[in-house]
Amino acid sequence: MAGVAPLPIAGPCSAVTIGKHICVLLHGRSVVRYSPTDDTYVTMANLPLPEWYCFDADVAGTTIYALGGISKGVWSREFYAYDTIANTWARLPPMKKRRKSSSARSAYVWLFDASKQCIGAGWAHAANLTIAILLMQYSTEKENADECAFYFINFNLDTSFGVALNWFLLHCSVLLAEALQVLGFYGNPIRTRVWLIQLGVWLVIIIMTKLIIGRVILWFERPINAFANVLFEPLSDFPRLELVLVMIACPVTMNVVQFWVTDNFLKKHDSDVKAADENTPLTIKPHDTYV
Q: CA–CA separation, 127 vs 134, rounded Å?
A: 11
Distances in Å between the Cα of 232 and the Cα atoms of 70, 143, 243, 250 are 69, 16, 11, 14
* pLDDT above 70 for 232: yes
Residue 90, CB-side half-sphere exposure with 13 Å CA sphere? 11
The pLDDT of residue 285: 44
pTM for the complete prediction?
Answer: 0.53
CB-based burial label for 223 (10 Å; 0-12, 13-18, 19+): exposed
Cα 199 to the chain's mean position, in Å? 20
% the chain with pLDDT above 70:
66
What end-to-end distance do the CA atoms of the chain give, in Å? 36
3-class SS at 34?
strand
Q: CA–CA separation, 289 vs 109, rounded Å?
A: 24
Q: CA–CA separation, 275 vs 116, rounded Å?
A: 27
What are the sequence ranges of the domains in the chain? 13-92, 107-273
pLDDT class of 290 with cuts at 50, 70, 90: very low
* pLDDT above 50 for 82: yes
| Average pLDDT taken over every residue of the chain | 72
The pLDDT of residue 163: 85
* pLDDT tens-place string over residues 247-272: 788 878 887 888 888 877 777 665 55
Which numeric CATH code is attached to 13-92? 2.40.10
Contacts 24+ apart (CB under 8 A), 179-186: 181/272, 182/268, 182/272, 182/273, 183/265, 183/266, 183/267, 183/268, 183/269, 183/272, 184/109, 184/112, 184/113, 184/266, 184/267, 184/268, 184/269, 185/268, 185/272, 186/109, 186/112
pLDDT class of 166 with cuts at 50, 70, 90: confident
* pLDDT above 80 for 71: no
* pLDDT tens-place string over residues 92-131: 766 555 444 455 677 788 888 888 888 888 888 787 777 7
